[in-house]
Amino acid sequence: MVSETQYWVAFSLIRGIGAVRFRRLLSEFGSLQEAWQASPSALAQTGLSPKLVENILDIRQQVDVDQLWERIQTLGIQVLTWQDASYPRRLKEIDQPPPVLYLKGNLLEQDELAVAVVGTRKVTHYGRQVAQEIAAGLAQSGVTVISGLARGVDAIAHAAAMDQGGRTIAILGCGVDRIYPPENRPLAQRILQQGALLSDYPPGTAPDATNFPPRNRIISGLSLAVVVVEAGEKSGALITASFAADQGRDVFAVPGNIHAPQSVGTNRLIQKGAYPFVSVQDLLETLDIVMITQQTDARKTLTTDPTEAKLLEALTTQPIHVDELARLVELPVAQVSSTLTILELKGYVRSLGGMNYVAVHEDNGEYHIENA
């Protein structure tokens, strides 16, 4: 049975059909299947140029939608569109997010807590050491490392994250079935076990110099922040940093030797207002995600403790003093106080100071519990 997603894939083959035109086609025709089957005059009426209409007609003649879909399934590639609940939430929030993503491996909810680590292909010994330390430290804190699978800093960051048992996502400037550079194929296979390969280019797309700058918007779009380890004056990592700034992401740059060409770009980023990278701990504190990573670990175990359950039942969004709470649940103050500390670590309650506590919600990034 033909699905709507197959037509999203078909339109993704057409150069010139990006986020804006995807939206226009959906608005005009109601579905991309209808748009795919539309007459040339109907397509032209949507404001598409004659050349673009001609491109659509040419691709329609060349592509068998069913065969294309079958090939994607055979390659083990997942397709995510704006309409899918599994489309990455953070990426969907950027200006003109890619309408179609091609995925090998898997994306997890925890990958929303992600930081990009990028930099030059011509990495120095210093850059290699720092990239390893950053990626390893992020992985140890439960943060997913995102990069571009390129030579140099990217490959080092992917490997260092996985060496610590962490997750990593590689964003490609080609189809996810076309690994580039070829020497990173073993690394890509390893990433499939601890993360994902992701691209907005259809399967079969060969690596091309023009593909890599646009893919950098996905690297930054998926991330809470971008860390540039080393970058020359015209490094692609600077493009990622620019996208990050436009998307409201924090940019960190590793200070470097003022005489080293690999540090020209990072030092300039700092000069223009990027955070100087000092340590992973400093980065986590700046992003305010230290507590979040602790909560993520703590909440892996569901609350089965009877004291915790009793307190959660008693707590509301109205502040209550620990002494009053102890009287309410008929438990010793010391036991209530220690249990509240555990619940706060798990993200179930929040201290307001003065030994007052509330149950908190998950709305707008804050956890909360209704009456348990």
The string of pLDDT tens digits covering residues 247-292 is 999 999 999 999 999 999 999 999 999 999 999 999 998 887 765 5
Q: What are 24-48's pLDDT values in tens digits?
A: 999 999 999 999 999 999 999 999 9
pTM for the predicted model, two decimal places: 0.77
Token pair 């060496």 is found at 163
Q: What are 297-312's pLDDT values in tens digits?
A: 554 455 567 888 888 8
pLDDT at residue 51 tops 70: yes
pLDDT band at 22 (very low <50, low <70, confident <90, very high): very high
pLDDT at residue 11 tops 80: yes
pLDDT at residue 293 tops 80: no
In contact, 148 and 241? CB cutoff 8 Å: no
Token pair 């992701």 is found at 198
pLDDT at residue 6 tops 80: yes
At residue 1, the pLDDT reads 46
Q: What are 54-105's pLDDT values in tens digits?
A: 999 999 999 999 999 999 999 999 999 998 889 998 999 898 999 999 999 9
Rounded CA separation 67/73 (Å)? 10
At residue 153, the pLDDT reads 96
At residue 235, the pLDDT reads 86
The amino acid sitting at 203 is P
At residue 295, the pLDDT reads 52
At residue 128, the pLDDT reads 96
At residue 2, the pLDDT reads 60
Rounded CA separation 296/236 (Å)? 33
The tokens describing 8, both together, are: 């999203």
Question: Mean pLDDT score of the chain, rounded to an integer?
Answer: 89
In contact, 97 and 82? CB cutoff 8 Å: yes
The sheet with strand 144-147 has its strands ordered as 78-81, 100-105, 195-199, 168-171, 144-147, 114-118, 225-228, 250-253, 275-276
In contact, 144 and 167? CB cutoff 8 Å: yes
Rounded CA separation 111/195 (Å)? 9
pLDDT at residue 194 tops 90: yes
In order of their start, the domains of the chain are: 4-74 (1.10.150), 105-292 (3.40.50.450), 299-365 (1.10.10.10)
Least confident of 32-41, 183-192, 357-366: 357-366
